[in-house]
Structure 1
Amino acid sequence: MAFNKDDVSINSLIGIGSAITGDIKFTGFVTVHGDINGNIETSGKIIVGEKARIKGNVTAKSAIIGGIVEGNVTAPEGIQLFETAAVVGDLATKHLLLADNVLFHGHC
């Protein structure tokens, strides 16, 4: 399997203590450890760290979630929810992996 550069190199990072209000759009691999009040979209992968809080929809090629998302998550290639994840919203994907003790309230 070939890897695209955007699959392994982090293009954008929202660090712990950061707070963003408004919709944001990225190209490539994004990692979120801060708070976002708005929709977030990227053409690549997104990782939502366990300290992250997103109030808005998440759209990415694939998503790994360990924090809190209050909104829908759309990631056609796959969504993985770690045991620290809490998602209140719908999930849209071809592949879904849920760890034990995940809090999920929505449809998929």
Structure 2
Amino acid sequence: MSSQYDDISVNTLIAPGTFIKGDMHLEGFIRLDGDIDGNIDTSGKIIIGKNARVRGNITALAAVINGIVEGDIVAPEGVQLFSTASVRGDIVTKKISVEENVFVQGQCIVLDDENAFNGAKSLWQDKKAIREKAFAETRSAF
């Protein structure tokens, strides 16, 4: 992570009542309390608030999920799922913490070893790309 960003200060805040449609590429620590239909990519940590909703994939250094995510989460440093969290998608990380009553529908790939993690992440991305291509070709046939 760049030295101008830290794990304490929020660099980007998306407030409750805010709706964003489109992909976001941001630097640093993000707190999301609104809704986004699109992918989020950040070099830092992301917190998804209790009333927040994401329809898209999240790529971050670490992720804290309290709200709804309908997409994949890739966060090498760790994923925390609190009791109000709902995830419909795959999770790829080195560490995970899950409270009671969390809803997860998808694969969970958790590997602490750096080489094993990178290999599994690469394999997961390849399989995901193949599935998406096959689905697109099937849809275009109809």
1:1-108 correspondence to structure 2 within 5 Å: 5-108=5-108
Identity %: 53
TM-score with structure 1 setting the length: 0.95
Q: CA deviation at 1:5?
A: 4.3
Segments of structure 2 that go 5 or more residues without pairing to the other structure are 109-142
Greater strand share, 1 or 2? Answer: 1
Q: 2-side partners of 1:89 and 1:7: how far apart?
A: 26
Q: CA deviation at 1:6?
A: 1.9
Alignment root-mean-square deviation, CA: 1.3
Greater helix share, 1 or 2? Answer: 2
Q: 2-side partners of 1:88 and 1:97: how far apart?
A: 17
The one-letter code sitting in structure 1 at the alignment partner of 2:23 is D
Moved over 4 A (4+): none
Q: 2-side partners of 1:54 and 1:98: how far apart?
A: 19
Larger Rg: 2
Q: Describe the superposition over 1:26-84 as per-residue Cα deviations: whole angstroms up to 9, x where unpaired.
A: 10000000000000011000000000000000010000000000000000000000000
Segments of structure 1 that go 5 or more residues without pairing to the other structure are none
**Secondary structure of the corresponding residue to residue 84 of structure 2:** coil
Q: Which is bigger in relative contact order (C-alpha 8 A, separation at least 6)?
A: 1
2:5·2:29 contact (CA, 8 Å) conserved in 1?
A: no
